[in-house]
Amino acid sequence: MEAPPQNPKPWLFAVALNLVRDDGRRAVRQERKLALLKGEQGEASAPAADDEVERGERIEAVRAALAQLSENDREALLLKAEGFNYDEIASALGLAKGAIGTTLARARRRLVEAYRAKGRMRDVAR
């Protein structure tokens, strides 16, 4: 039996990411739809309908932009957004720490560019 990792957090997330990948592949194969719970928006602070629509569109655009990233770039970006440091991200993704900065730089630029491109297409469509 292997000794427990010194830093369990990135190890745990690496395991979680592997599970997520497996799960995603299985879902694609079986065309399974995940049961999604209703959003946790509070009723008291329910936003206006226009804001809600606009926000929904923006969310869709961000997701579409994220989907255009490579898997490594996307996961590095999301892990960073979750508060992980470079060491942890490197451990989770199996990359060198020195490559994380480059990966993040590329991911951020591509995300923004993809989002802007989406916005331009949307504007043209309107």
Partner 1 sequence: MSHVDDGQLNALLDGELAPADAQAIEAHVASCAVCARRLEEARQFLAESSSLLDVLVPPELPVARPEVPAPAAGLVGATPVAPALDLAPAVPAPAAGGERRPTRTAKEVALDIDGSTQKSPAIRPIFPREVERRAAAAAEESTKGAPKRRVDWTQLAWAATVVLAMGVTWMVSEIRHAGGAPSAERVAVNDGASTATAAREPAAAVATGPAAGAGAHRRAAPPPRAVATKPPNARGNKPLPAEDATPIGRTGALASRARDQAGLDRASAPAAMGAMQAPAPPAPVAPTTPRQQPPTAAANQERGERLAPPTASPLAGAAGVGGAGAPAAPAARAPSADLLGRAVRRDTAREEVLTSFRRITLDQAARRLSGAIRLIDGRPWDHVEVGPGRLVPGSDRLHDVVRVFYFDDRGRPLILDQQRIPAPADTAGEARAAIGTLGMAPGDTLVTTAPSGLTRIRWLDRKYFWLSLSGNMPADSLRMLVVRVR
* Interface residue with partner 1, options 5, 53, 112, 121 (CB under 8 A): 112
CA separation, residue 94 to residues 3, 15, 43, 91, 100 (Å): 18, 12, 42, 5, 10
Would you tell me how many other CB atoms lie within 10 Å of the CB of residue 104?
Answer: 17
Between 1 and 43, CB nearer to partner 1: 43
Residues near 49 by Cβ (< 8 Å), separated by ≥ 6?
Answer: none
Q: How many residues bind partner 1 (CB under 8 A)?
A: 58
| Angle between the N-to-C axes of helices 97-125 and 71-81, in degrees from 0 to 180, rounded to the nearest 10 | 100
Q: Cβ 50 to partner 1, closest distance in Å?
A: 15
Q: Does 117 bind partner 1 (CB under 8 A)?
A: no
Phi then psi dihedrals of residue 48, to 5 deg: -65, 160
Q: Cβ 77 to partner 1, closest distance in Å?
A: 7
Q: Cβ 1 to partner 1, closest distance in Å?
A: 24
Positions in the binding site for partner 1 (CB under 8 A): 13, 16-17, 19-21, 23-24, 27-28, 31-34, 36-42, 45, 47, 55, 58-59, 62-63, 65-67, 74-75, 77-86, 98-109, 111-112, 115
